[in-house]
Amino acid sequence: LVCTQQELLLCQSLPKNLLFQLLGLSIATLSTITHYGLHFTLISNISLESNSYRVIHHAAFYFGICLSMTLILAALLSSAATVQESQCLTAMGFFCFALAFCGLIPAACWRYTHSTEVENSMMDVYDLVYEEVRRNASSFRRHELTAIHEAFQCCGKRSPFGDTANVERKTCPSGQVRDAGQDCLREIQDFLKKHMDFVSMLLGITIGFTV
């Protein structure tokens, strides 16, 4: 009878623990994509020390990895506690879930209160590179601007400083048409919005199941 009860508890807890491991792996994957993805690394490498994007870029990665490891550890401890009927392992598992919850809530709040900061910092990087190329300040900057255009599949921006066709002709990918409305600032906004929406969805699901 004892063995049957243990097996029943294990069967009941196994799907939940697997779900938390999956959520942990999903967060780790998203953090890795955010850190090593072409769009994000390109902006991070170009950004100046005074720009806050590079700090946000690294902090988001390390926080996501720590959070994912905490969730996976909590799931493993819960499974071990069910099998061994250990109160100590159960307490450690609950502590890890509480720790993860205390990290998820600030992360969700930060996403909604600082999303414009991330967006503005990315666009500031593009503005800096674009204006330096427009002033013919650096051939290396022209190479960076070309890389941004290719990564985001966009072409230039609407500038108040007059004709920018020369910049776009030198840095836009072949086949990109300026008049098609592929403004890079708009493309950066749209790309980041889609990414942040996915982050919000994953955080919301994880918070719900953690509760």
Q: Which two tokens stand for residue 147?
A: 């890389």
Summarised one tens digit per residue, pLDDT across range 102-134 is 999 999 998 888 888 888 999 999 998 988 888
Kindly write down the DSSP assignment for every residue of 43-59, as one continuous string. HHHHS-TTSTHHHHHHH
C-alpha span between 84 and 72 (Å, rounded):
18
Q: Which amino acid appears at position 164 of this protein? A: T
- With CA atoms as reference, report the closest residue to 74 among 89, 60, 88, 64: 89
**pLDDT tens sequence for the chain (211 residues):** 444 554 555 555 567 778 888 999 999 999 999 999 999 999 999 988 778 898 999 999 999 999 999 999 998 888 888 777 788 988 998 999 999 999 999 999 988 888 888 889 999 999 989 888 888 756 788 899 989 989 998 888 875 555 556 677 777 876 655 444 468 899 999 999 999 999 999 999 999 988 8
